[in-house]
C-alpha cells in the first residue's frame, strides 16, 4: 500500500468516525425529548439491525465458501484438454 493510499484510507476512517460521533451526539440530544413510542421504535430498529446484519454476513460467507468448494470440485472433475495432438501422426484410417 502506498503512502498516498494509506493517507486516503486514514482520512476516510477519520471522516467516518467524525460522522458517527456527530450522529451519536445528535441522538443523545434527541433521546431525552423523545416520546415512549419513538424510543420503542428506535429499540426495535436497533434490535433488527443487530440481528439481521450478522446473519446476512454469515450466510454470505457460507455461500461464498460453498461456491468455491463446488467450483473446485467441478474443476477437478473436468477432463484436461488435449495438448500437442498431431492429427496426421495419430490418424490410422483413410488409405
Task: Please indicate whether residue 87 or residue 71 has the higher confidence score (pLDDT).
Answer: 71
Domain boundaries of the chain, sorted by first residue: 1-33, 35-78
Mean per-residue pLDDT for 54-65?
Answer: 96
Q: What are the cell numbers at 94?
A: 483413410
For 39, residues 6+ apart whose C-beta sits below 8 A from its C-beta are 31
Mean per-residue pLDDT for 77-85?
Answer: 62
CA count, 13 A, side-chain hemisphere, 20: 6
Question: How big is the CA angle at 19 (ends 35 and 45), to the nearest 5 degrees?
Answer: 40
**Whole-model pTM above 0.75?**
no
Q: 17-21, 69-73, 85-89, 91-95: lowest mean pLDDT where? A: 91-95
Amino acid at each position: 500500500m502506498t503512502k498516498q493510499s494509506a493517507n486516503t484510507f486514514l482520512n476516510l476512517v477519520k471522516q467516518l468516525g467524525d460522522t458517527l460521533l456527530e450522529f451519536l451526539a445528535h441522538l443523545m440530544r434527541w433521546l431525552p425529548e423523545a416520546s415512549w413510542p419513538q424510543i420503542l421504535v428506535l429499540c426495535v430498529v436497533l434490535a433488527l439491525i443487530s440481528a439481521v446484519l450478522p446473519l446476512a454476513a454469515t450466510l454470505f460467507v457460507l455461500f461464498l465458501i460453498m461456491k468455491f468448494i463446488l467450483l473446485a470440485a467441478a474443476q477437478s472433475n473436468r477432463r484436461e484438454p488435449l495438448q500437442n495432438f498431431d492429427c496426421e501422426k495419430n490418424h490410422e484410417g483413410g488409405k
